[in-house]
Structure 1
Amino acid sequence: MPLLTIGAFARACRLSPKALRLYDELDLLRPLRVDPETGYRYYAPEQLAQARLVAWLRRLGMPLALIRELRDLAPADAAREIRAYWARVEAETAVRRDLATFLVDHLSTPPVPVDRKDLTMLELRYCARSDRGLVRPANQDTAYAGRHLLAVADGYGEAGGAVSGAAVDALRVLDTDLLPAGGVLGLLEDAVTGATEAARNAAEGGEGSGTTLTALLWTGTRLALVHIGDSRAYLLRGTGLFRITHDHSVVQSLLDEGRLTEEEARSHPDRLLLLKSLDGSTTGTPDLRLHDAHPGDRYLLCSDGLTRTVPEPTLHHVLTTSPTPEAAARALVDAANAAGGEDNVSCVVADLVEQAA
């Protein structure tokens, strides 16, 4: 069958000649032959399927670098990677949707005068604990709890401890009664930018180093969440325990796609691999969102040294039966070590209670 000129090939696959030239330069779709004198490109009809696949993936918004990786995969493997990519897109879209909903409500609803005599003032009662565990030679976790800020970071790599500590220290500027003027999410986003830079600086010279970060900022009326990695935040409200973060991990993406069960995930060989973290090769954008606060809410922030060894029914039991944050945090660390203590374990437990008169 005769070769197709670039113009004919472009019409057949619905890509522009300009796009075809770009994909040639990026080694995405090479022409079968290039005229040595004119530089004119010629394509085989058999390349139409690959060209249409590239066009479809670009319509999905898939980055060119990822399309290049898919190009040489078997169809089943390519389908798996597309499912994983779209699961990440949907998760990130959900975060942006929540933020957009908040902004629409915030900007379209005029402030309502509040009679402070009838206003219930809440405050945090909190405890942070971090433990090396029974196996690891050092503790690379960092846990912090203050009047306004709760945070857990799980470092990894040669400089993991320094990186997790630097990230949390950069957020501690927000642990004050006198927050700067401006929206709380904006303040938190600026602080996360500082935490990212601090983590990057701390990781210099430490090969493959980075950290997770999960933090809650108490504004006096709401809690603002920042989250990246596979540390977690839980809310105990009434008798129900709810996870309010989504793991940025390879195993979680497989669970989202229905390709793993919870039982299989616990022993999966890639269960420690992250899709996003602060610094390192998996750096990504943290999740930011706001949560309403109710009197009596209890929050748990923890590293995966707790959640990979202590099942959620046990977490629920400890959080519902412990009378204070101190007792809950101590019991949770003890439970992780009783289960083998294979990893560092850190947790922050905080209660929202009415302020004393």
Structure 2
Amino acid sequence: MPYIAVTALSHVGLIREHNEDSLVIGPWTLCATVTQNPQSLVFPLGRPLVVAVADGLGGQPGGEVASALVVRRLADLGPVLDGAEALGEALTACNSEVYAAADGRPELATMGTTVAGLLVLGETLLAFNIGDSKVYEVTWDGLRQLSVDDSPPPQPGMRTTSAVTQTLGGTRGFSPVQPHVATREVSVGGRYLVCSDGLTDPVPGEEIDRILRVHDDGKAAFELWKTAIEAGGPDNITLALVRIGE
């Protein structure tokens, strides 16, 4: 019987004082905490399943509050999401709820978060994002990015940028969002990576691809985290490897 296997971890990194990333896998959420080892979950293919990472905006108050709110809302809505329209409505609702949660609370003003993930249905898979967290398809030809970075081009000589042009919340006045959604057919053997920029900023795509080629999901998740730490661990590191098996 076809199934969805998800292996994930979340870690504060070496520089940040606390973890502002949150993670949702179906009904399971991990918010502003740390996993000591990769966690693996298996679900039957056919029912809607959301796997997503939310990266609370650093340098602004309440990043962990915003990211936790979003993943918990996606966990609640996940079982009834049946396509791109419903997914877009859910993400729009998450944006409104982040602003509503900050309303009248000065300590949470401008709190915000990115989000990126997968909605796996019976025959189709939707990759989605708002912000600069990423979704990749792992192919024989290398990593194929399915998400769309909401960020300006890096400065000359720089590989990445920390600027983000669209987030859930993040401004004093309400700003609507335009979610990015890409559709793929579900196929047995399909493999995907969902992650925050705490992995992709310090670790080049070529190295991520190499690790995924030579290790199974549990070992690969650990090695990806280890490589980000060895590169300085400048940010929170959250990732989920998703595989369609039978």
TM range (shorter): 0.7 to 0.9
Whichever residue aligns with residue 342 of structure 1, its letter is P
Q: Map of 1:8-87 to 2, 5 A cutoff?
A: none
Native 8 Å contact 1:122 1:221 kept in 2: no
Q: Does 1:328 align with 2:220?
A: yes
User: Which residue of structure 2 aligns with residue 217 of structure 1?
Assistant: 119
User: Which structure has the larger Rg over C-alpha atoms?
Assistant: 1
Q: Map of 1:216-295 to 2, 5 A cutoff?
A: 216-251=118-153, 264-266=157-159, 271-281=161-171, 284-295=177-188
Native 8 Å contact 2:24 2:53 kept in 1: yes
Normalised by the length of structure 1, the TM-score is: 0.57
2:14 to 134, 139, 142: 134
In structure 2, distance between residues paired with 1:250 and 1:210: 18
Q: CA deviation at 1:304?
A: 0.6
Q: CA deviation at 1:207?
A: 3.3
- Percent sequence identity over aligned pairs: 31
Native 8 Å contact 1:229 1:274 kept in 2: yes
Q: Map of 1:332-351 to 2, 5 A cutoff?
A: 332-351=224-243
Q: Does 1:199 align with 2:98?
A: yes
User: Which residue of structure 1 aligns with residue 199 of structure 2?
Assistant: 306
Q: Does 1:163 align with 2:43?
A: no
Whichever residue aligns with residue 230 of structure 1, its letter is D
Q: Which gives a bigger RCO, structure 1 or 2 (Cα 8 Å, sep 6+)?
A: 2
Give structure 2 stretches of 5+ with no counterpart.
27-42, 44-48
Q: Map of 1:81-120 to 2, 5 A cutoff?
A: none
* Higher strand proportion: 2
Native 8 Å contact 1:159 1:202 kept in 2: no
Q: CA deviation at 1:336?
A: 0.8
Residues 341 and 283 from structure 1, CA distance in 2 versus in 1: closer, same or farther, beyond 3 angstroms?
Answer: farther
Aligned CA RMSD, in angstroms, stands at 1.9
1:152 to 32, 53, 60: 53
Q: Map of 1:181-192 to 2, 5 A cutoff?
A: 183-192=82-91
Q: CA deviation at 1:285?
A: 1.2
Residues 174 and 353 from structure 1, CA distance in 2 versus in 1: closer, same or farther, beyond 3 angstroms?
Answer: farther
User: Which residue of structure 2 aligns with residue 296 of structure 1?
Assistant: 189
Give structure 1 stretches of 5+ with no counterpart.
1-120, 253-259
Q: CA deviation at 1:191?
A: 1.5
Report how many aligned residue pairs link the two structures.
217
Q: CA deviation at 1:239?
A: 4.4
Whichever residue aligns with residue 147 of structure 2, its letter is T
Higher mean alpha-carbon deviation, 192-201 vs 340-349, is at 192-201
* Higher helix proportion: 1
Whichever residue aligns with residue 186 of structure 1, its letter is E
Q: Does 1:125 align with 2:20?
A: no
After superposition, the C-alpha distances for 1:129-179 in whole angstroms (9 at most, x for unaligned) are 110011101100112223411101110121000101111111112443xx3
1:152 aligns to what SS in structure 2?
A: strand
In structure 1, distance between residues paired with 2:113 and 2:77: 20
Q: CA deviation at 1:235?
A: 0.5
In structure 2, distance between residues paired with 1:328 and 1:202: 37
Q: CA deviation at 1:344?
A: 0.6
Native 8 Å contact 1:126 1:326 kept in 2: no
Whichever residue aligns with residue 189 of structure 1, its letter is G
